[in-house]
Structure 1
């Protein structure tokens, strides 16, 4: 153990000392300083070195830890530090040779073992500091979700959220202090939870049920999912637009003239690692886009107020959608910024915008598509077709 890095990250379970391996015991014996939450320090009585409680909020402790380089330091974390834990919040500041980690079973692993759920088929979310709406896209009958929350009051708030979304019939499995002497597992419907003695740390298993609407997985969600004043890329055109944008995991989208934010939101729903920046000049619409994103569990949508090209984000996007404000100046500005391989998709409904897209298509290539849709509407005692405004879509790879 003499060649240990200066920092050892140890995952601690609710069984405290009893759950430590030989390697973690040796690291603690060599430590000059042990840092961790007060709860974790209490699980390891008899430490023979300096013990220091980690501050709240968590981020304030990072510089304090980094200032201890050169000493033998042990950081205590919950369960598996790299499974919705503190691990990466620390190691992103360190070189790989500076640290070593010894995980314990995570709350998710213990909860799945208690409930008999296949962990690989279960959605796992850490909601200590995240909004409950992150569960919204995953609420569907027959699914299993495991979420960690801040405390007992948060469990009640989660139950209220589910009931408010029409999923009050969901079965909640409340799992407290898993793996330790205080462990307790209780089950109740979300709309019937009235306990006031739920103890931290707590994990909740959710079996969604009820009359709540289920968010489809396919691009082109129904328009009713998005609050709008009419400035909305409608469902069929949105589906074709997302198909042309072709989101890939971890990519960044610029959604220019975002309106309700539906394109950026669906881009984010395509993969949890995706990022999107919506540019919207109208402050009311910009706020509505934020609200739509939060409602659908993708509050990571960044909304940038202003009008492009006067306002464009820093950096380089992987894809750009122009849903409003199309102009020669905007296309020139974007073409100068985009890297090779970036995708650009622009939709036009006016003759002037169509002509501009046709011009750029002739110069830069790509695909030009005319989308013509009609809806069946009453026509006297029968039905007839009412045409929508046609949309011309130009898609190109730089």
Structure 2
């Protein structure tokens, strides 16, 4: 284990709107001993009369990290909102520091204060930070009766949130607009999203959402309805997608490569399976890649990565995947490349429709093992004055662990 620094040079102090009266004894002691205090202009303004020199943290936030690291060895206090490690700046500030170099003194988080004002059980709420994220991230959480706590940038963002709820059919949701919680400017007002008319919302602001309305909630199972995805026909259809996701078996924090991404439906459902999951789709057609990106945004998983090109000539860089899905471009060359590059234990699922690709999978399954399954589906359809079964193209699915 690496030696830690005996005394931390950096103290991260969480402050609320009542900073003048609400600082802990440890936070006050750190400020008294500081040789430099860094923080946003709003935070510095909450602490007039600092004895140490102060420096305003720059925008964008990342530009302040090198300035902070250059002060290593001096007693530095960084001011942040509330709890530094609950949708806060703490992890960004400490990412390049050893554990012994820093200490943090959190204040009550905005989420905790909001739950206390509304009487909501915090462990039952969905908590989201949308300061710099699209409002569509709400989509997977919009279900009647759910409680959502959201941090937003300003009053304009609250209006955008309300408009999005109306657009999705959840205009009857109650919005609790919570301004400057914990300080003398605190204000809490409630209104239906479809009736929001506040034009004087003050920063900092959070919103509590009691979801109501006639909008469609996303099912929590795999195999979402096909009409949730914009596509040109290149989509793994819902029943087959459910079987494919079952074979891929996403686990929290895992990474997927989706080769021949098409509409992005498999990648998107992989991401919906857990908020810590990541996925990268490889797609040769620019228009399809654009559709996949738009579908991911619409369904609240804008973190989908896309690589434009044809595998195996183009494959994602960085962290290797835990699972790979081949939905297009299946060939000996692609499988050879994957076998050479992927680590032992990677799960691979490939779907084949043509006789040629079926034969290829049968050969590889004979050599490498795994499970080969033929999937045949049929839909009821008109047959004269009655109904009969209309068969879909059968699909052969190979699942294997490298």
**TM-score range normalised by the length of the shorter chain:** over 0.9
| 1:249 corresponds to which of 235, 249, 252 | 252
Equivalent position SS for 1:117: coil
Equivalent residue, structure 2, for 1:141: 144
Equivalent position SS for 1:94: coil
Equivalent position SS for 1:233: coil
| 2:287 corresponds to which of 272, 275, 284 | 284
Q: Distance in 1 between matches of 2:208 and 2:6?
A: 41
Tell me the CA shift for residue 314 of structure 1: 1.5
Q: Distance in 2 between matches of 1:17 and 1:30?
A: 17
Tell me, yes or no, if structure 1 residue 240 matches structure 2 residue 208.
Answer: no
TM-score for the superposition, normalised by structure 1:
0.99
Q: Distance in 2 between matches of 1:200 and 1:381?
A: 65
Q: Distance in 2 between matches of 1:63 and 1:43?
A: 25
Q: Distance in 2 between matches of 1:3 and 1:235?
A: 57
Q: Distance in 1 between matches of 2:221 and 2:149?
A: 24
Tell me, yes or no, if structure 1 residue 10 matches structure 2 residue 13.
Answer: yes
Equivalent residue, structure 1, for 2:330: 326
Q: Distance in 2 between matches of 1:55 and 1:187?
A: 34
Equivalent residue, structure 2, for 1:374: 378
Q: Distance in 1 between matches of 2:191 and 2:58?
A: 34
Q: Distance in 2 between matches of 1:388 and 1:232?
A: 14
Mapping 1:190-339, distance limit 5 Å: 190-315=193-318, 316-339=320-343
Equivalent residue, structure 2, for 1:185: 188
Q: Distance in 2 between matches of 1:116 and 1:252?
A: 37
Tell me the CA shift for residue 317 of structure 1: 1.0
Equivalent residue, structure 2, for 1:396: 400
Equivalent residue, structure 1, for 2:124: 121
Equivalent position SS for 1:160: helix
Tell me, yes or no, if structure 1 residue 352 matches structure 2 residue 356.
Answer: yes
Q: Distance in 2 between matches of 1:40 and 1:317?
A: 41
Moved beyond 6 Å, runs of 4+: none
- Whether the 8 Å contact between 2:7 and 2:100 is mirrored in structure 1 is no
Equivalent residue, structure 2, for 1:55: 58
Equivalent residue, structure 2, for 1:88: 91
Q: Which runs of 5+ in 1 are unaligned?
A: none
Q: Distance in 2 between matches of 1:379 and 1:191?
A: 47
Q: Distance in 1 between matches of 2:193 and 2:385?
A: 47
When residues 95 and 3 of structure 1 are mapped into structure 2, their CA distance, relative to the original with a 3 A threshold, is closer
TM-score for the superposition, normalised by structure 2:
0.98
Equivalent position SS for 1:276: strand
Equivalent residue, structure 2, for 1:30: 33
- Whether the 8 Å contact between 1:8 and 1:100 is mirrored in structure 2 is yes
Tell me the CA shift for residue 4 of structure 1: 4.0
- Whether the 8 Å contact between 1:4 and 1:100 is mirrored in structure 2 is no
Q: Distance in 2 between matches of 1:75 and 1:3?
A: 19
When residues 4 and 14 of structure 1 are mapped into structure 2, their CA distance, relative to the original with a 3 A threshold, is farther
- Whether the 8 Å contact between 1:135 and 1:297 is mirrored in structure 2 is yes
Tell me the CA shift for residue 57 of structure 1: 1.3
- Whether the 8 Å contact between 2:260 and 2:327 is mirrored in structure 1 is yes
Tell me, yes or no, if structure 1 residue 42 matches structure 2 residue 45.
Answer: yes
The two structures, once aligned, show a CA RMSD in angstroms of 1.0
Equivalent position SS for 1:260: coil
Identify which range, 304-313 or 2-11, moves more after superposition: 2-11
Tell me the CA shift for residue 3 of structure 1: 6.1
Tell me the CA shift for residue 70 of structure 1: 1.1
Equivalent residue, structure 2, for 1:70: 73
Tell me the CA shift for residue 81 of structure 1: 0.6
